[in-house]
Amino acid sequence: MRGRHAVGPEIAEQVAESPFEALRLRLILETITGDKRVQEACAEMGVCTQMFERLRDRSMRTAARSLRPKKAGRPSKGRSAVEAENAQLHERVAELEAQVQALRVRAELAEGLPRLAGKKP
């Protein structure tokens, strides 16, 4: 038979970050492959059957979620430096336009007030 040999429950030691995780993962995989009975795994793990079933269910759900298709390509890093600068410039333009409008109103008031001040009611 060609190709790579199948990897079994011993893969747990390669992927787990601690011996504790490796033991639990290996026992879960051994029950799935039929190498070990659930009661035996529970005894080795020191948990009841219900807790073992919850652990196995959570492990399988997590594994399934990690296999969901994702968007292709590199994930974005948020806004780029150019986009951030562009946003700042837009904010500054809006501030300056508001100041210009306020100055126009002041100029119009200043032009009208001396004429009104010169008139006596």
* Distance from C-alpha of 115 to C-alpha of 118, rounded to nearest angstrom: 5
Residue type at 113 in one-letter notation: L
pLDDT at 2: 76
Give the helix/strand (H/E) hosting 45.
Answer: helix 38-45
Q: Model confidence over 82-113: pLDDT tens digits?
A: 888 898 999 999 999 999 999 998 888 888 77
* Distance from C-alpha of 64 to C-alpha of 59, rounded to nearest angstrom: 9
* Distance from C-alpha of 27 to C-alpha of 12, rounded to nearest angstrom: 9
- Which positions of the chain have pLDDT values less than 70? 1, 114-121
pTM of the model: 0.56
Structure tokens belonging to residue 111: 């032009």
pLDDT at 118: 58
pLDDT at 111: 80
Place of tokens 């009975």: 37
User: What are the extents of the domains in the chain?
Assistant: 9-66
pLDDT at 107: 87
